[in-house]
Amino acid sequence: MPLRPIEYVAAKTVQEAVTSLAEKGDAARPLAGGTDLIVQLRGGRRIIDRVVDLKAIPEMNELTYNAQTGLRIGAAVPCYRVYSNADVARAYPGLVDAASLVGGIQIQGRGSIGGNLCNAAPSGDTIPALIAHSAVAEITGPGGNREVSVEEFCTAPGRTVLQAGEILVAIRLPAPAANFGACYMRFIPRNEMDIAVVGVGASVVLNGNTVTACRIALASVAPTPVYATAAGAALVGKEATEDNMNAAAEAAQAAATPISDMRGTAEYRTHLIGVLTRRALRIAIQRAKEA
């Protein structure tokens, strides 16, 4: 089925994109990789008059990493660029796990991390990983610039904190502490090309075998990705033992409000949260020890 007629604007600057989007309000939508947007337009799930392509804006394509200041990912940077960069892959293993399993190679060549966040699917794989890495969204709009932590960015399925005319410009991840490790994993019935039944992102900082910081976030278990603060807190100040990981996994289960649908029942999802939280923590801890 062809797309409804649309107007295509290739913005050259962030300001031009903001102006072009603000003119049309809800009838305009920014375009990065298009791997969600074009599907939604074709299926009639989103009806708009204008797409504003962000890919010609230099800032939107920047991927910069500095060991002191951290990582800045322009909102249109496709997934493959994140896992193709050796420095980034070393410093942000949880994000690399997620970027490597969004769709297949064709999707990763085009779909952006920023788009995955703005699409705000409860199952968006990169979102729990971004939360585990303490990422912050840089937003520009008609009213100026603001920043929102990624755990506060999604407000409902497909909805975000972005107001009319506002766009995500970049996602910033702080430089990892010494002895930092992270992991994202999901459960799907096949190996590739599927939507998470449950996804878990976890990060830890170790001092010896003691966990000094821990963040755990979940996908596909609530209307938005969930930052399970109590689950991370359950491990802080504790030894990285199986018993303590079990306590964190139970807290993660308690933070979720899963539904039953064609991908799994609520009970099954709750079980998976426990299993995946323990597994993701084990890998994050192992990576922290090797860091």
Partner 1 sequence: MAISKTHVRTTLNGEATEYLCEPNQSLLEVLRDVLLLTGTKEGCNDGNCGACTVNMDGRIVDSCLVLGVEAEGCKLMTIEGVATPEGLHPIQQAFLENAALQCGICTPGFIVATKALLEKEPSPTEARIRHWLAGNLCRCTGYDKIVKAVVDAANTMGGKK
- Asked if residue 68 binds partner 1 (CB under 8 A), the reply is no
Distance between CA atoms of 199 and 95, rounded to whole angstroms? 13
Binding-site member from 47, 156, 193, 254 for partner 1 (CB under 8 A): 193
Q: How far is the CB of 270 from partner 1 (least distance, A)?
A: 28
Strands in 43-96 per DSSP E:
50-53, 63-66, 70-74
Binding-site member from 13, 69, 87, 105 for partner 1 (CB under 8 A): 105
Cα 282 to Cα 78, 204, 256, distances in angstroms: 28, 10, 21
Beta bridge partners of 258: none
Q: How far is the CB of 80 from partner 1 (least distance, A)?
A: 7
Binding-site member from 62, 85, 89, 110 for partner 1 (CB under 8 A): 110
Q: How far is the CB of 231 from partner 1 (least distance, A)?
A: 31
Read off the tokens for 54: 């962000």
Which listed range, 5-13, 60-68, 210-218, 257-265, lies at the site for partner 1 (CB under 8 A)? 5-13
- Asked if residue 39 binds partner 1 (CB under 8 A), the reply is yes
The radius of gyration of the chain's CA atoms, rounded to the nearest angstrom, is 19
Nearer to partner 1, 190 or 243 (CB): 190
Give yes or no for a contact between 198 and 216, defined as CB atoms under 8 angstroms apart: no
Distance between CA atoms of 49 and 77, rounded to whole angstroms? 25
Give yes or no for a contact between 107 and 95, defined as CB atoms under 8 angstroms apart: no
Cα 261 to Cα 100, 184, 197, 252, 266, distances in angstroms: 26, 23, 10, 20, 8
What's 239's DSSP letter? B
Residue recorded with tokens 């200041």: 69
- Asked if residue 6 binds partner 1 (CB under 8 A), the reply is yes
Q: How far is the CB of 82 from partner 1 (least distance, A)?
A: 14
- Asked if residue 16 binds partner 1 (CB under 8 A), the reply is no
- Asked if residue 189 binds partner 1 (CB under 8 A), the reply is no
Binding-site member from 22, 89, 107, 175 for partner 1 (CB under 8 A): 107
Binding-site member from 67, 144, 189, 192 for partner 1 (CB under 8 A): 192
Q: Which residues bind partner 1 (CB under 8 A)?
A: 1-8, 10, 31, 33-35, 38-39, 42-43, 49, 51, 53, 55, 80, 103-107, 109-110, 191-193
